[in-house]
């Protein structure tokens, strides 16, 4: 009953000065909106990092051929070393206990044609283990088998973007596409993947073919450019990286020739960790801005409360004179501050949700407005209003009734 009376008195006092109340509410609302957007961006960044880690296929190391300078007298710029071979992947699995599987790969842009439609896309020749190592899954059809890889079968699995570009909404499984002049039977379509962690390439804009088929018929090569190495879950990546480097230096006889390593080992979790640090830095900046906005909103609440107390001194004095206790006066003005914070919090939620949605649609940042984000924003609004409203409420409760009535 007493709480209802306090809220009724406070709401009438706030409605009596709509402009002043609106400014205080908007200040808190801006702070709440900033907090909500900050948390939404942070949640989106964390979710994206989890997706990227899962997309890598677990504990992944990437062994890549390095660039080498051309021999003296030969034209052209740096080229990739041609010393990384499929048998290196077999040796890594056999001689490094920390490794579960390895998939050699070579890729290059090629023209892919279906009927009268054609596009330039990445043609990637991979081993059958590539599906397991990279955690690739087919949305339609299947992946090629080891028997097909050994027989150098002309089969292919299309990336999602390639399938949609060439076939629209129809099912491409069983159709023939041409890589250059070579026909390949489509046996599957990959699930959408988006950008990869190593270099940000679009993994939907590619087709996969068996490694031996690609080396013999498409690339005319006996080397590969990448080895995807899946490390056992219970093995440290740093240890596996050191053992792989030592093995490849021995196999490639690095010590006998000048120029250093002809390969490099990349720890993909370091890439994800760098992205996480960048995201954390951005979140700290946003948090600082949100805190400033909330403080501004709190100052607005304190100003409104101070003006309200000055204008209502006679009312406060009369209530105390007829028996109202000072804690009742204090609770009334605290409830008034909380009403300002609640209104600002609700408005901030609406604005913040709209801004977070716009950020997710118009930028590359992923945003997620979750239940915890909404709770954090509301609690922040009420906490700031309470902190900045307690001071004026205590001053109101401390007013002398005789002086207040005389004023």
What is d(CA 388, CA 31) in angstroms, rounded to the nearest whole number? 14
Q: What is the pLDDT of residue 74?
A: 47
Half-sphere exposure of 76 (CA within 13 A, CB side): 9
Q: Where are the alpha helices (DSSP H) in 224-370?
A: 237-251, 268-311, 313-321, 326-362
Q: Where are the alpha helices (DSSP H) in 168-228?
A: 211-213
Q: What is the 3-state secondary structure (H, E, C) of 77-120?
A: CCEECCCCCHHHHHHHHHHCCCEEEEEEEEEEEEEEEECCEEEE
The pTM of this model reads 0.60
Q: 47 vs 195, 272, 357, CA distance in Å?
A: 15, 12, 16
What is d(CA 25, CA 21) in angstroms, rounded to the nearest whole number? 6
Q: What 3-state DSSP class applies to 224? A: coil
The region that residue 313 occupies, defined by phi over 0 for left and psi between -120 and 50 for alpha, beta otherwise, is alpha
**pLDDT per residue as tens, the chain (407 positions):** 455 555 566 566 566 666 666 766 777 777 778 777 777 777 777 676 666 655 555 588 889 888 766 554 444 445 778 889 999 999 999 999 999 999 999 999 999 999 889 999 999 999 999 988 888 889 999 999 999 999 999 999 999 999 999 998 899 999 999 999 999 999 999 998 876 655 556 788 999 999 999 999 999 999 999 999 998 888 888 889 899 999 999 998 876 666 678 888 887 666 556 666 666 676 677 667 767 777 777 777 777 777 766 766 666 666 666 666 767 667 777 777 777 777 877 888 888 888 888 877 877 677 777 777 777 777 877 887 777 777 776 776 666 655 555 66
Q: What is the pLDDT of residue 238?
A: 83
């Amino acid at each position: 009953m007493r709480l209802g009376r306090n809220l009724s008195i406070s709401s009438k006092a706030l409605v009596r000065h709509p402009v002043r109340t609106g400014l205080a509410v908007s200040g808190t609302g801006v702070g709440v909106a900033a907090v909500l957007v900050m948390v939404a961006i942070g949640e989106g960044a964390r979710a994206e990092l989890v997706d990227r880690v899962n997309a890598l296929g677990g504990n992944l190391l990437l062994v890549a051929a390095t660039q080498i300078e051309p021999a003296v007298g030969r034209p052209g710029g740096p080229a990739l070393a041609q010393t990384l071979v499929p048998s290196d992947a077999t040796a890594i699995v056999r001689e490094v206990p920390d490794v579960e599987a390895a998939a050699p790969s070579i890729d290059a842009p090629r023209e892919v044609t279906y009927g009268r439609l054609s596009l330039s896309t990445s043609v990637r020749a991979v081993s059958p283990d590539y599906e397991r190592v990279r955690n690739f899954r087919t949305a339609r059809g299947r992946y090629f088998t080891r028997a097909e890889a050994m027989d150098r079968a002309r089969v292919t699995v299309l990336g999602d973007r390639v399938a949609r570009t060439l076939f629209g909404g129809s099912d491409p499984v069983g159709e023939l596409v041409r890589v250059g002049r070579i026909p390949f039977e489509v046996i599957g379509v990959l699930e959408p993947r988006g950008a990869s962690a190593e270099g940000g390439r679009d993994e939907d804009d590619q087709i996969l073919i068996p490694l031996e088929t690609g080396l013999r018929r498409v690339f005319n090569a006996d080397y590969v450019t990448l080895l995807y190495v899946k490390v056992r879950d219970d093995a440290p990546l740093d240890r596996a990286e050191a053992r792989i480097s030592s093995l490849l230096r021995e196999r490639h006889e690095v010590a006998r020739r000048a120029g250093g390593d002809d390969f490099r080992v990349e720890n993909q979790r370091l890439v994800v960790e760098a992205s996480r640090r960048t995201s954390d830095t951005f979140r700290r900046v946003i948090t600082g801005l949100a805190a400033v906005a909330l403080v501004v909103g709190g100052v607005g609440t304190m100003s409104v409360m101070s003006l309200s107390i000055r204008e209502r001194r006679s009312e406060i004095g009369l209530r105390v004179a007829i028996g109202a206790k000072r804690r009742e006066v204090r609770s009334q003005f605290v409830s008034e501050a909380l009403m300002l914070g609640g209104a600002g919090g609700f408005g901030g939620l609406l604005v913040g949700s709209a801004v977070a949605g716009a950020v997710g649609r118009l930028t590359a940042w992923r945003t997620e407005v979750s239940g915890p984000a909404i709770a954090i924003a509301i609690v922040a609004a009420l906490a700031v209003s309470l902190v900045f409203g307690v001071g004026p409420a205590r001053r109101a409760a401390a007013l002398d009734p005789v002086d207040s009535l005389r004023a």
